[in-house]
């Protein structure tokens, strides 16, 4: 049985998510559809990119992950299927796959051009329903992603430089970086913080760095909000201290 996840900024008040589910179930009956997140901040591509990159690896191999946070819908960006890390991803090439479609885990990327993978007449403002849901259904029926269209390379980026950055700020205000475990400390916003094990290694209200659940270094305020306390946002520099 095929498994499809949905990540969007649609919310649940307008029926957009329901329309996508209807298309998937109509075109691939019996598919299991799982909601990852529909309260991604509106138009926040980088937030969606982190959500799907950290949640998708927990699913069985060949799960189909549809991501629709797409402020450029109907514009020049391509609609794509990405194979990476044993999973399949469907969505716009606007940066939502920046964390999954590069590096050693990347297996392939294809533009969605075939009418077997999209509606013949797609509404330019609702590719979630008319392109990405049909593409997910085609994959769920067993069509290989290479039939979706020509092979391509991902062009979407997240708008900041190389490694050593805050890549996500979660709802607790924790600053999640892309710095791999290993350094004894990190520097951020003028503070040097020794890497500890967990929040209780410091007193309430104090800053702490630790290796988070995504296996990168995070900065938090115990029982507080590090983003607010430091005035730091996504894209800020985080320096590893050997």
The rounded Cα 132 to chain-centroid distance in angstroms is 15
Taking 70 as the pLDDT cut, the residues of the chain under it are 103-104
Q: Which among 12, 33, 10 has a CA at the least distance from the CA of 22? A: 33
pLDDT at 239: 97
Class of domain 3-147: alpha beta
List, for residues 157-212, the tens digit of each pLDDT value. 998 877 899 999 999 999 999 999 999 999 999 999 999 999 999 999 999 999 99
Q: Which among 180, 132, 143 has a CA at the least distance from the CA of 20? A: 132
206/228 Cα distance (integer angstroms): 13
Where do the CATH 2.40.30.90 domains begin and end in the chain?
A: 166-241
121 C-beta neighbours (distance < 10 Å), count = 7
pLDDT at 103: 66
pLDDT at 162: 77
For domain 166-241, give its CATH number from 2.40.30.90, 3.40.50.920, 3.40.1010.20, 3.40.1360.10: 2.40.30.90
pLDDT at 101: 79
pLDDT at 166: 97
């Amino acid at each position: 049985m095929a498994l499809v996840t949905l990540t969007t900024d649609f919310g649940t008040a307008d029926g957009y998510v329901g329309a996508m589910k209807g298309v998937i179930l109509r075109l691939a009956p019996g598919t299991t559809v799982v909601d990852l997140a529909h309260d991604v901040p509106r138009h926040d591509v980088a937030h969606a990119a982190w959500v799907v990159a950290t949640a998708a690896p927990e699913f069985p191999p060949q799960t189909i992950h549809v991501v629709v946070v797409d402020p450029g819908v109907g514009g020049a960006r391509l609609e794509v299927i990405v194979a990476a890390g044993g999973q399949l991803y469907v969505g716009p090439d606007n940066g939502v796959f920046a964390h999954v479609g590069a590096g050693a885990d990347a297996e392939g990327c294809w533009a969605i051009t075939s009418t077997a993978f999209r509606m013949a007449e797609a509404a330019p403002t609702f590719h979630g329903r008319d392109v990405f849901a049909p593409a997910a259904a085609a994959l769920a029926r067993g069509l290989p992603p290479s039939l979706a269209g020509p092979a391509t390379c991902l062009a979407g980026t997240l708008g900041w430089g190389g490694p050593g950055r805050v890549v996500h700020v979660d709802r607790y205000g924790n600053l999640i970086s892309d710095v791999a475990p290993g350094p004894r400390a990190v520097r951020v916003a003028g503070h040097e913080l020794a890497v500890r094990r967990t929040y209780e290694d410091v007193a309430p209200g104090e800053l702490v760095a630790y290796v988070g659940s995504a296996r990168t270094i995070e900065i938090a305020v115990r029982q507080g909000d590090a983003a607010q306390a430091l005035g730091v946002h996504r894209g800020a520099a985080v320096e590893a201290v050997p």
